[in-house]
Amino acid sequence: MGSTYSMLTQYDIEEVQEYCNNLFSQQEIVSLYERFCQLDRNSKGFISSDEILSVPEFAMNPLSHRLLKMVDGLNFKDFVAFLSAFSSKANIRQKIELIFKVYDLDGNGKVTFSDVLEVLRDLTGSFMSEEQREEVLSHLLKEAGYAKTSSLLLDDFIKILDYPCLRMEVEIPVD
């Protein structure tokens, strides 16, 4: 059987393209669909954690648990929408929005001190102590003019992260 999949119609492609704000070309959407069908092993129409974790490169990523919460159960349209932040056509605001969502998992629009600490814990593991993490974070927040108790909003993130070196692009392989 292998990678036989139901073909996308032109209507489907256009619908998905609109849904992701035209950040992917039609060819890229077809490639992404092939990939989606490959990951969705029993053709349920959505991908589950198990299937995503079977990609060893993903399972090795320190942020895999957080990302799994965002990607688990996505159907194809949402899958493309999630990945659209990584398109070369996405502007920096769209990319920072995704970064914000990674921190703000509960979706209340606020990123607290402990939220950032959680992400830092994922990224540094046992190679930094909890005290070191808190110290570094408090120090840098103060330096940037934020109180430890205040929460960061999306606009704060945009202000902090909007700089030319921010690169977050992935190329979709197209046959």
Which residues of this chain interact with another protein, rule CB under 8 A?
1-4, 32, 35, 38-39, 41, 50, 52-64, 67, 71, 83, 86, 95, 98-99, 102-103, 116, 119-120, 123-128, 132, 136-137, 140-141, 143-144, 146, 157, 160-161, 163, 165-170, 172-173
| Nearest distance, CB of residue 170 and another protein, angstroms | 5
Q: Which residues of 146-158 are buried (b: 16+ CB within 10 A; e: fewer)?
A: beeeebbebebbe
Q: Would you say 84 and 23 are in contact if contact means Cβ atoms under 8 Å apart?
A: yes
User: Taking the CA of residue 131 as centre, how many other CA atoms within 13 Å lie in the half-sphere pointing to its CB?
Assistant: 0
| Nearest distance, CB of residue 96 and another protein, angstroms | 9
> Using CA of residue 38, residue 43, residue 49, residue 51, what is the dihedral sign?
negative
Residue 13 or 39 having the CB closest to another protein: 39
Q: Which two tokens stand for residue 36?
A: 């989606």
Residue 41 or 108 having the CB closest to another protein: 41
